[in-house]
Amino acid sequence: MRMPIMAAAAALLTSACNTADIRAQAVQQRSQYAVMAAERIDEACASFGFKPGTDAFATCRMVQAEKQAEEQRRWAAAAAAQTEQLRRQNCYAAALNSLYSQNSVANALRDVACMP
């Protein structure tokens, strides 16, 4: 009886560690994206004929940054909706799995981990 509980606890711990790794990668990717986005904004404003260091260039950067931020908000909302849908599917799958499994303690540990 003790072994399945430890296996379930190890699975939960592994899942939490994997989640932390994914979050760290996401932070790093966001930082890289921000640098690339700033470069693209500068390139776009230069292609419109604005000279760096002028008020017109600064205004162009603000307008382009706002457009990019709006696009990013739309993308983030869509990603959040998809993530929530996947979380629910995983929770439902865990609940269905527990109906067919023999070990109720392991099931309880697993199911509690995904409840909102």
For residue 98, what are the domain limits? 2-114
In this prediction, residue 42 carries a pLDDT of 92
**CB of 94 closer than 8 Å to CB of 110:** yes
The pLDDT value recorded for residue 29 is: 76
Q: What is the pTM of this model?
A: 0.48
pLDDT at position 61, please? Answer: 93
Tens-digit pLDDT profile for residues 55-86: 999 999 999 999 988 988 888 888 888 888 87
What is the structure's pLDDT at 35? 80
Number of domains the chain is built from = 1
Distances in Å between the Cα of 40 and the Cα atoms of 34, 73, 84 are 10, 18, 31
Give the CA distances from residue 78 to residues 41, 52, 62, in Å, rounded to whole numbers and listed in that order: 23, 34, 24
* Start-to-end Cα distance in the chain: 28
Specify the pLDDT at position 47. Answer: 95
Residues of the chain with pLDDT under 50: 1-2
